[in-house]
Amino acid sequence: MITVALAKGALLKDSVSSFAKAGLDFSTVLESGNRQLMIPSRCGRAKALLVRNGDVPVYVAYGQAQLGVVGYDVLREKQMPIAHLVDLGFGGCHMSVAVKKNSGYKRAADLPPHCRVASKFTHCSRSYFDDLDLPVELVHLTGSVELGPITGMAEAIVDLVASGRTLRDNGLVAIEDLFYSTARLVGNPLSLRLDRGELQSILEAIRSQQQLPEFLG
């Protein structure tokens, strides 16, 4: 039986829709009263694991799930040994550097050397500022990173920005983008090598029905 890791939250509804087009109905996870974390598909061909977004690549890498859907931001941050299969196109947002609106900073390179930058995504942030040759002190936060500049703890943040409303409501503004993130279909490399056609048929159905290109990055 195929096991699919699905991320709770913003990606879940579109993830369920993508697999439905491939013949796997996991719509039970969307029911308001559902509290199950392992849900069989209605057709009985597969089951879904309902996990946090950041845990999807872990379950896939260790083989507890053959396929999964996860944001590209998590893939960049986690750097797990899994196969990147399809850019699903939904859940789009930018990974951005943001500062207080009245800070005077217009781009990331304007930040002073050795300043503090708050982020949940410290690996992505470190790579970005290393490429800029700008030494910064990264402060790892797990929520409400906007408070970093507001309280004066940090000069800037690196975080996901969709509509930008949270930034605006807190007097912040994005000044530079690191990359654009969307939901990605990922797979366990060994499972894909040993596949006798079942996984491939799911991949082909998702690609063809959504008319999406294979992700090559």
Structural domain boundaries in the chain: 2-90+182-210, 93-180
Q: Higher-confidence residue: 26 or 216?
A: 26
212 pLDDT band, cuts 50/70/90, is very low
Q: Is the dihedral of CA 6, 89, 131, 99 positive or negative?
A: negative
What is the distance between the alpha carbons of residues 158 and 112, in angstroms, rounded to a whole number?
15
Structure tokens at 12: 């879940």
Place of tokens 């939250």: 9
Fold of the domain spanning 2-90+182-210: D-Maltodextrin-Binding Protein; domain 2 (3.40.190)
Same fold flag, 2-90+182-210 and 93-180? yes
Identify the pLDDT of residue 32.
Answer: 82
Q: Is the dihedral of CA 148, 154, 158, 161 positive or negative?
A: positive
The residue-averaged pLDDT of 184-197 equals: 96
What is the distance between the alpha carbons of residues 180 and 140, in angstroms, rounded to a whole number?
21
Structure tokens at 214: 């294979």
pLDDT tens-digit readout, 146-182: 999 999 999 999 999 999 999 999 999 999 999 999 9
What is the distance between the alpha carbons of residues 120 and 76, in angstroms, rounded to a whole number?
12
Q: Higher-confidence residue: 32 or 195?
A: 195
CATH class of 93-180: alpha beta
The pTM of this model reads 0.89
pLDDT tens-digit readout, 62-76: 999 999 999 999 999
